[in-house]
Structure 1
Amino acid sequence: MKVNLGIASQNSADWQRIIDGDLDSRPKTADWRIVEQALALGDLAEPLGYDGIWVPEHFGTPYGMTPNPLQLLSYFAGRTERISFGTQIVVVPWWNPVRLIHQICYLDIISNGRYETIGLGRGVAKSEFDSLGIPRETSMKRFEETIEILELAFSQDRFSYEGEIFKIPETEIRPAPKSSDLFSRLYGASATGPSLEMISRKGVKPLFVGNKPLSEAAKDVRKVNTMRQEVGLPPCQPKNILFTFCVSSKEEAAKADEYLATANRDVALAYGLNDPSNFAGVKGYESYADRASSATAPGEAAKETNKPAPKGYDQSNLMIGTPETIIERIIENQKACSFSEITLMPQFGTMPYEEAAESVKLFAKEVLPVVHKMDAPLHAAALPDQKLRA
Structure 2
Amino acid sequence: MRLGVFCTYENPLNDYAKCFAAQTRLVQHVEALGFEEAWVAEHHFNPDAASPSILVLLAYLAGVTTKIRLGSAAVLLPFRNPVQVAEDVASIDILSGGRFDFGIAKGGPFPLQNKHFHADKDVSRDMTLEALELIERLFHEDEVSFSGRFYQTDAVRLAPKPLQKNMPLWIATTTPEAIRYAAQKGIGVMGGSPFPLQKVADIVETYRAAAPGVDPRLALARFYFAAPTREKALAEAQPFVARFSERMRGIFMAQGKGPAFDAEGVIARSLIGSYDEVIAQVREIQARVAPRSLLLKPASLDADKNLQTLTDFAKIIRPALQASSLEVA
Rounded to whole Å, the distance in 2 between the matches of 1:226 and 1:319 is 28
Identical pairs, percent: 21
Shift of residue 91, structure 1, vs aligned partner: 0.9
1:326 aligns with 2:272: no
Shift of residue 82, structure 1, vs aligned partner: 1.2
| Superimposed CA distance per residue, residues 170-229 of structure 1 (whole angstroms, 9 cap, x where no aligned partner) | 1111112211011xx111111333443443344322111122211221122011111224
Give me the TM-score of the superposition, normalised by structure 1: 0.76
Specify whether residues 224 and 5 from structure 1 end up closer, same or farther in structure 2 by C-alpha distance, changes over 3 A only: same
Match of 1:122 in 2: 106
Match of 1:275 in 2: 254
Shift of residue 332, structure 1, vs aligned partner: 0.9
Paired residues of 1:316 and 1:329 also in contact (CA < 8 A):
no
Rounded to whole Å, the distance in 1 between the matches of 2:276 and 2:290 is 20
Alignment of 1:79-118 (within 5 A): 79-115=64-100, 117-118=101-102
Rounded to whole Å, the distance in 1 between the matches of 2:118 and 2:324 is 46
Shift of residue 373, structure 1, vs aligned partner: 6.6
Q: Which runs of 5+ in 1 are unaligned?
A: 13-27, 277-291, 377-390
Match of 1:353 in 2: 303
Which structure is higher in RCO with an 8 Å CA cutoff and minimum separation 6?
A: 1
| Superimposed CA distance per residue, residues 300-352 of structure 1 (whole angstroms, 9 cap, x where no aligned partner) | x9xx8xxx51xxx375641111222222211110110121111111146xx22
Match of 2:10 in 1: 10
SS at match of 1:254: helix
Alignment of 1:197-236 (within 5 A): 197-229=180-212, 234-236=214-216
Whose radius of gyration is greater, 1 or 2? 1
Q: Which runs of 5+ in 2 are unaligned?
A: none
Match of 2:59 in 1: 74
Match of 2:294 in 1: 342
Alignment-mate amino acid for residue 90 of structure 2 = C
1:369 aligns with 2:316: no
Specify whether residues 235 and 77 from structure 1 end up closer, same or farther in structure 2 by C-alpha distance, changes over 3 A only: closer
Paired residues of 2:75 and 2:105 also in contact (CA < 8 A):
yes
Shift of residue 157, structure 1, vs aligned partner: 2.1
1:266 aligns with 2:250: no
1:61 aligns with 2:69: no
Give me the TM-score of the superposition, normalised by structure 2: 0.90
Paired residues of 1:63 and 1:267 also in contact (CA < 8 A):
no
Shift of residue 34, structure 1, vs aligned partner: 2.3
Specify whether residues 261 and 191 from structure 1 end up closer, same or farther in structure 2 by C-alpha distance, changes over 3 A only: farther
Rounded to whole Å, the distance in 2 between the matches of 1:137 and 1:113 is 35
Match of 2:146 in 1: 161
| Superimposed CA distance per residue, residues 135-184 of structure 1 (whole angstroms, 9 cap, x where no aligned partner) | 323311210101211232233222221100001111111112211011xx
| Superimposed CA distance per residue, residues 228-285 of structure 1 (whole angstroms, 9 cap, x where no aligned partner) | 24xxx7343311111111212122122223322221222334xx31212xxxxxxxxx
Specify whether residues 224 and 374 from structure 1 end up closer, same or farther in structure 2 by C-alpha distance, changes over 3 A only: farther
Shift of residue 87, structure 1, vs aligned partner: 1.3
